[in-house]
């Protein structure tokens, strides 16, 4: 049964890509820079349809590369526009040069990432190698589990990015093909509600010929450090602002968001930590484990940057073991990116043992039974005090 808030909304059948485009349309974007790359292309195609149908009043530029796309949005943001783009895989890494530029110039642009494996060899299906590879470039980062979250995060991203105490770019990721192309029931807010919620962008500074300013200047050792410290403070602010936005969005939509999505974690002895669409599969694994008498729970990450340290501490405080599912292979690292983030919080403050599991690279499927097995393995390893070792799920040796 729909909640009171949902009753005021329109239920639409949307793919994840369409949900993002619809949310961006409602956000009142002024500028879109578009370059196609599978499985993101549908987002910018749909936005071009909205423009052709007169449903958005925005400047839309087809550019020659993803590097040009992010550069164009940075320029539009400097002019005071509310800018948006989307990309995937090799497109995101081609943008890499400009990612720290957008953050360093404090441009509150928003970008959706259809998470996809990196080359080589070429693969067009889901893993998280693209988005997790750029996690330290000064962007606020979120990950959506399904099309509903993709829509909601689109709207919330503008609210977070444009907050005066943040003024940082935001990217959020959805699983390529699994979420981008699957159709789901998505509750959408009325246009006027989104418009009122976000308001008109009020840039703290902008290009103005009558009042010249310098943007992106040369900053040597006597000033560069201070610029970086200001970014650090802005990212620190983003943690509280994001939680505030989650709260205000819940009041408006009826949908609750938290930095970590916990399921049956209150009395759990073993946690499954996951991101993206896998979180839903992990819930099914937990239900099956509970039927067997195994006290398991799921912690799914929504807010990746800034990393939700207090929520991790609270969630992991009473568990014996954790199975950390990684849809990325961090070559040469002692463990995957999620494990390393968690370890920096958990050790040595908490008495919990964590174990790393690599899965689903290049879009390979994972089922609830495999996830349940990782939880049992982690619990057994913890009881025997075995050290962590990187293990691969569903790979031919």
Domain ranges, ordered by start, for the chain: 4-253, 260-392
Reported as a single tens digit per residue, the pLDDT across 252-295 is 999 999 999 999 999 999 999 999 999 999 999 999 999 999 99
pLDDT at res. 80: 96
Terminal-to-terminal C-alpha distance of the chain: 47
pLDDT at res. 348: 87
Look at phi and psi of residue 221 and say left if phi exceeds 0, alpha if psi is from -120 to 50, else beta: alpha
> Taking a C-beta distance cutoff of 8 angstroms, is the pair 186, 155 a contact?
no
DSSP string, 48-113: HHHHHTTS---EEEE-SSHHHHHHHHHHHHHTT--EEEEE-HHHHHHTGGGHHHHHHTT---EEEE
Residues of the chain with pLDDT > 70, as a percent, come to 98
Whether 6 has a pLDDT exceeding 90, the answer reads no
Q: What is the mean pLDDT of residues 65-86?
A: 98
Burial class (CB in 10 A: 0-12, 13-18, 19+), 184: middle
Reported as a single tens digit per residue, the pLDDT across 140-167 is 999 999 999 999 999 999 999 999 999 9
> Taking a C-beta distance cutoff of 8 angstroms, is the pair 111, 170 a contact?
yes
Whether 7 has a pLDDT exceeding 80, the answer reads no
Whether 130 has a pLDDT exceeding 70, the answer reads yes
Residues of the chain with pLDDT > 90, as a percent, come to 96
Burial class (CB in 10 A: 0-12, 13-18, 19+), 64: exposed
DSSP character for 125? Answer: S
Q: How many CB atoms lie within 10 A of CB 386?
A: 13
Fold of the 260-392 domain: Rossmann fold (3.40.50)
pLDDT at res. 216: 87
pLDDT at res. 1: 45
> Taking a C-beta distance cutoff of 8 angstroms, is the pair 391, 357 a contact?
yes
- Which distant-in-sequence residues (6+ apart) come within 8 Å of 184 by Cβ? 13, 14, 15, 16, 19, 146, 147, 148
Q: What angle do helix axes 41-52 and 16-26 make, rounded to 10 degrees?
A: 40
Burial class (CB in 10 A: 0-12, 13-18, 19+), 122: exposed
Whether 4 has a pLDDT exceeding 80, the answer reads no
CATH number of 4-253: 3.40.50.970
Say what the alpha-carbon torsion angle 91, 342, 155, 64 is, to the nearest 10 degrees.
-10
Both tokens of 285, joined, read: 């694994």
> Taking a C-beta distance cutoff of 8 angstroms, is the pair 227, 104 a contact?
yes
Reported as a single tens digit per residue, the pLDDT across 285-325 is 999 999 999 999 999 999 999 999 999 999 999 999 999 99
Whether 109 has a pLDDT exceeding 60, the answer reads yes
Q: Which residue has the higher pLDDT, 83 or 214?
A: 83
With cut-offs at 50, 70 and 90, classify the pLDDT of residue 5: low
Asked, colleague to colleague, whether 4-253 and 260-392 share their fold, the answer is yes
Whether 397 has a pLDDT exceeding 90, the answer reads no
Q: What is the mean pLDDT of residues 233-253?
A: 98
Whether 227 has a pLDDT exceeding 60, the answer reads yes
Reported as a single tens digit per residue, the pLDDT across 360-382 is 999 999 999 999 999 999 999 99
Instruction: Collapse the DSSP code of 189 into the 3-class scheme (helix H, G, I; strand E, B; otherwise coil) and give the result.
Output: coil
């Amino acid at each position: 049964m729909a909640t009171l808030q949902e009753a005021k909304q329109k239920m639409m059948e949307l793919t994840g890509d369409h949900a993002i485009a619809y949310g961006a349309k409602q956000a009142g974007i002024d500028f879109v820079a578009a370059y196609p790359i599978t499985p993101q292309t549908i987002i910018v195609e749909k936005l071009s349809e909205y423009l052709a149908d007169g449903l958005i009043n925005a400047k839309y530029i087809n550019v020659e590369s993803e590097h040009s796309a992010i550069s164009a949005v940075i320029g539009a943001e400097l002019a005071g526009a509310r800018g948006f783009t989307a990309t995937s895989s090799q497109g995101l890494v081609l943008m890499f040069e400009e990612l720290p530029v957008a953050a360093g110039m404090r441009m509150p642009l928003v970008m959706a990432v259809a998470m996809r494996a990196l080359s080589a060899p070429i693969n067009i299906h889901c893993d998280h190698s693209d988005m997790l590879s750029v996690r330290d470039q000064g962007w606020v980062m979120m990950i959506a589990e399904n099309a509903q979250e993709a829509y909601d995060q689109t709207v919330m991203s503008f609210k977070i990015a444009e907050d005066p105490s943040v003024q940082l770019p935001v990217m959020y990721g959805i699983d390529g093909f699994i979420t981008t192309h699957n159709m789901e029931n998505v509750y959408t807010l009325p246009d006027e509600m989104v418009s009122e919620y976000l308001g008109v962008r009020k840039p703290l500074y902008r290009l103005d010929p009558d009042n010249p300013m310098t943007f992106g200047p040369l900053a040597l050792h006597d000033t560069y450090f201070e610029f970086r410290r200001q970014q650090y403070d802005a990212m620190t602010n983003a943690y509280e602002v994001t939680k505030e936005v989650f709260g205000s969005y819940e009041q408006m939509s009826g949908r609750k968001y938290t930095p970590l999505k916990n399921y049956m974690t209150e009395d759990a002895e073993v946690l499954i930590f996951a991101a993206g669409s896998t979180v839903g599969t992990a819930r099914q694994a937990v239900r099956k484990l509970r039927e067997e008498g195994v006290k398991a729970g799921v912690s799914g990450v929504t807010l990746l940057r800034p990393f939700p340290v207090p929520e991790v501490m609270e969630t992991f405080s009473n568990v014996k073991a954790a199975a950390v599912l990684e849809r990325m292979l961090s070559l040469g690292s002692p463990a995957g990116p999620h494990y390393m983030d968690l370890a920096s919080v958990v050790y040595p403050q908490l008495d919990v043992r964590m174990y790393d599991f690599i899965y689903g690279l290049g879009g390979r499927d994972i089922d609830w039974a495999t996830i349940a097995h990782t939880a049992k393995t982690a619990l057994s390893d913890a009881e025997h005090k075995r050290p962590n070792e990187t293990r691969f799920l569903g790979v031919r040796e």
